[in-house]
Every structure is written in C-alpha cells, then in structure tokens.
C-alpha cells in the first residue's frame, strides 16, 4: 500500500529547513543562503522513501514580523504547519532555546493539538553530547513531541532515520505527484529563486530584501535549450546601479552563476537574459505576493 502526505518543517530563520529539504529530496529545490528569511514561498520538495511519497512544505522561517512581506511570510509558515500531516520543529543545537524558539513552542500549543509534531535538533556537530541531552530534555518538558531526532542536515547525520520515520507516519493513499517530479513549484519560479540566491550571495548587506526576481518569459528552443528572460525588481534607482555593478560586472557574474545552476538543474543548455527595473512599491503589490506563493492579505495588520 502506498502512502503520501505533507511534512512541514518549521523553525527560526537559518535553522536549516532548506538544507534539510534539499538533503531529503536529493536535489536543490529550496534556496540555501546564509542570509535569513530567504525562503519566501512554501516550496515543496518531493522525496520518495520505500512506498511513501513525502511532500516537504518548506515554510519561511518564523520570526517577529515587521512589514507586510514579513507578516505574509509568517502567516504562510503557520498555515503550512496547520495543513501538514506531520510537522517537524528544527532547533539549532548550539543556539538552544532562544526567544524565537520559545515563541514557536507557544504557537505549537495552538496548532499542535492532535497532530504529530517531531523535534529535530540540527547542527549537532557543533556541540558536546551532554549539552544535546539537556537541550532534548528541556524541549520535551515544554512540549510533548512524538519523537526527537539528532541530525546534521548539512552532513546528512541522522537524516535517513528521520526520513524513514516520517514515511511511516503518512496516511495511506495514492501518491500526490508523478514519480519524476521533484518540486511542485513551477520551473519559472525555481529559476527566479536561483537567480535571487546568486544576487543575495553577491550583494550581501547592500540590498538584503529590497529586490525580487521574476521569470517574465520562458521559451523552449528547437535545439532542446531554453531561453529564459528574468526581471530583477529593485526599489530605488541607486539600487539598480548596485545590481548592475561597475561596467555591468555584477549582473554579468550573477547571470553566469545563475545560468550554470539552472542548466545543472534542468540538465540542458539555457540562455539567460536579466533586466533590472525600478519598481518603488513592489513590497505593496498583491501580484508580487501571488508570484511568491504568498497571500497578500495575510500581510495586513
């Protein structure tokens, strides 16, 4: 009998949710950067384990929201957890029970009733075993987790055991996606996210969240390659110069890095064309939110 269902990964920004999704799926579906709050949409990675199909809902990190985009992201994270068959809370071993983890534990009291919620303590290679044991005890005293896992999403320690456990807890039923489909996010959006990741890495502090990338056009060529046109939206003229860089060097290197990664993901040649446009109010436009799989109304105070 086949099984299939949704697993929501929740936790603070940078807890390792995207890295774990990618580890479970075995492909780079979710964007991994060292900047917090880079996962905007509920990207779903599909993993197979025996007869089970596990659909990972990679929620945005839970943090204290300040702007409309933040509020929409937090609403999406809790929504993802409430809709899932199993929820996994990721906590960083070396950071322990932070104020953010405390708030998530409080939130779980609301949505966790009658649900399967597991605890995964991530980055275990960063602390001594005594500390892990006391952290496990503390967390389990505060919430009744169905099971606790010690993992390193980056190195792969303990992740197979977690994957097997999740597969066994999903409801019986037909698979939700064709076997060869890794993510239900349209390819246009995955390609846009890959470009945005490259921009984020390249520009660090200069333009943290004041930009978004959209795939405007995707054309399949007769020779099997694809032409992809993307627009990078920034909020000010000054930002446009930063993205372009001196003599266009920044945009060239971003374009090359993004094209190589998209080619690797698709397994074929790609012609990538990037344009930068100034759009002062993109953070307030409903259309940009639906592009990211978020609900604009969730951002209302």
Q: What is the pTM (predicted TM-score) of this model?
A: 0.63
**Confidence (pLDDT) at 137:** 94
Task: Kindly write down the DSSP assignment for every residue of 250-284, as one continuous string.
Answer: HHHHHHHHHHHHHHHHHTS-EEEEEEEEE-TTGGG
Supply 205's token pair.
């502090």
Known binding-site residues for GTP equal 11-18, 58-62, 122-125
Residue 270 to residue 34: CA distance in whole angstroms: 27
The overall average pLDDT reported for the chain is 80
Domain boundaries, the chain: 3-168, 187-299
Which residues lie across from 118 on neighbouring strands? 88
Residue 200 to residue 257: CA distance in whole angstroms: 12
**Region 3-168: CATH code:** 3.40.50.300
Q: Mean pLDDT highest for which of 136-140, 180-184, 234-238, 280-284?
A: 136-140
Residue 43 Cα to chain centre, angstroms = 6
Mean pLDDT in residue range 48-69: 72
**Confidence (pLDDT) at 84:** 81
Residue 123 to residue 153: CA distance in whole angstroms: 7
Radius of gyration of the chain (CA): 20
Give the containing element (helix H, strand E) for 218. Answer: strand 211-220
Give the residue from 64, 43, 122, 40 showing the smallest Cα distance to 88: 122
- Judged against a pLDDT cut of 90, whether residue 204 lies above it is answered with no
Instruction: Give the pLDDT band of residue 36 (cuts 50, 70, 90).
Output: very low
**Region 187-299: CATH code:** 3.30.300.20
Known binding-site residues equal 11-18, 58-62, 122-125
Q: How does DSSP classify residue 148?
A: E
């Amino acid at each position: 009998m086949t099984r299939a269902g949704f697993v929501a990964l929740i936790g603070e920004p940078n807890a390792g949710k995207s890295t774990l999704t990618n580890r479970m799926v075995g492909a780079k579906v979710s964007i991994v950067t060292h900047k917090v709050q880079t996962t905007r949409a509920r990207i779903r990675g599909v993993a197979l384990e025996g007869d089970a199909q596990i659909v990972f809902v990679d929620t945005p990190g839970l943090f204290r929201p300040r702007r409309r985009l933040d509020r929409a992201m937090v609403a999406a994270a809790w929504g993802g957890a409430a809709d899932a068959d199993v929820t996994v809370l990721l906590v960083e071993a070396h950071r322990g029970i932070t104020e953010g983890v405390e708030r998530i534990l409080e939130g779980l009291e609301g949505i966790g009733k009658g649900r399967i919620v597991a605890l995964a303590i991530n980055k275990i290679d960063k602390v001594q075993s005594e500390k892990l044991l006391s952290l496990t005890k503390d967390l389990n005293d505060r919430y009744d987790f169905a099971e606790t896992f010690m993992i390193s999403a980056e190195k792969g320690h303990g992740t197979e055991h977690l994957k097997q456990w999740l597969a066994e807890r999903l409801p019986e039923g037909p698979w939700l996606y064709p076997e060869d489909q890794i993510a239900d996010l349209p390819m246009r959006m995955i390609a846009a996210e890959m470009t945005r990741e490259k921009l984020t890495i390249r520009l660090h502090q200069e333009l943290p969240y004041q930009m978004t990338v959209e795939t405007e056009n995707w054309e399949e060529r007769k020779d099997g390659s694809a032409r992809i046109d993307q627009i990078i939206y920034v909020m000010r003229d000054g930002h446009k110069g930063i993205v372009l860089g001196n003599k266009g060097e920044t945009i060239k290197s971003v374009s090359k890095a993004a094209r190589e990664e998209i080619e690797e993901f698709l397994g074929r040649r790609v012609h990538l064309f990037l344009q930068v446009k100034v759009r002062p109010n993109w953070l307030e436009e409903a259309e940009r939110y639906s592009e990211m799989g978020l609900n604009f109304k969730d951002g209302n105070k």
